[in-house]
Structure 1
Amino acid sequence: MHTSFAQRVTALEGLRARTRQATAEFYQKPGVMPPPLAPLIIVRPSGNNTFSLINRATGVVMAERFGHNNATSYARELEAKEAHFDIKKFGKVLRNWALRIGAILTVFAFFGSHL
């Protein structure tokens, strides 16, 4: 990369960092409400009054609905379900951590027995 481009990239990165810091400081002031988070589900038209509900993080089409009102109401329902932490999600998290810890202990036992 040319030196002038590298200097410009460095200067812009410094400005971006300062902007992020100033924004964080602004929202820490009392009485200032941060903007709402971006929606988890995007409603995108797919033709003939049909709308696709797309997961923003993965880009996977989760469902299709006929009519804009139906699509947006179903998207709100899906977001409410995602925000709700129930016993099934807790069980999955606990199972995953137990499997990880078990695998690590197995590796330690295996290597410890060969010493």
Structure 2
Amino acid sequence: MHISFAKRSAILEGLRERTRQATAEFYQKPGVQPPPLAPLIIVRPSGNNTFSLIHRATGVVVAERFGHNNATAHARELEGKAAQFNVKQFGKILSNWTLRISITLTVFAFFSIHM
């Protein structure tokens, strides 16, 4: 990469980081509410009153529904289910706590050996 491009890229990355910091500081002020998160499921028309429900992060078509009201209702239902506590989240929490307990026991064992 040319030196001028590298300098410009470094400057822009520094400005982006400062923008992220300023935004985070702004939303930490009292009385300022952050904007709502983007929806997980996008409803997109696919023709003949058929709507595809697309997972936003992966781009995978989750379902298809006839009628806009049915499609949006099903999208809200899927987003509600995604917000619930599931087995994957439980596994992450369990492994996190197992790691913490094992580190604590290791530290206690290390200090008990040296006493």
- Of 76, 90, 93, which residue of structure 1 is paired with 2:91? 93
Q: Match for residue 10 of structure 1? A: 10
Aligned-partner Cα distance in 2 for 1:91–1:46: 33
Q: Can you give the 5+ residue segments of structure 2 that lack an aligned partner in the other structure?
A: 100-115
**Shift in alpha-carbon separation, 1:20–1:65, aligned structure 2, 3 A:** same
Which consecutive residues of structure 1, in runs of 5 or more, have no partner in the other structure?
A: 102-115
Letter in 1 for 2:3: T
AA aligned to 1:49 is: N
- Structure 1 residue identity aligned to 2:11: A
| Counterpart in the other structure of 1:76 | 76
Deviations 1:60-108 (A, max 9, x none): 111001111111111000000110115xx269727x95xxx9xxxxxxx
Query: Residue 108 of structure 1 corresponds to which residue in structure 2?
Result: none
TM-score normalised by L of structure 2: 0.75
| Structure 1 residue 48: Cα displacement | 1.1
Paired with 2:7 and 2:88, the residues of 1 have a C-alpha distance of: 48
Question: How far apart, in 2, do the equivalents of 1:14 and 1:72 lie?
Answer: 40
Note the alpha carbon deviations across 1:3-41, whole angstroms, 9 max, x for none: 111111111000000000000000000000000111111
Matched residues, number: 95
1:15-94 equivalent positions in 2, closer than 5 A: 15-86=15-86, 89=87, 93=91
Over aligned residues, Cα RMSD in angstroms? Answer: 2.1
Distance 2:74 2:7 in 1: 48
Residue in structure 1 matched with residue 112 of structure 2 by the alignment: none
Instruction: Give the letter aligned to residue 56 of structure 1.
Output: R
Q: Letter of the aligned partner of 2:91 in structure 1? A: V
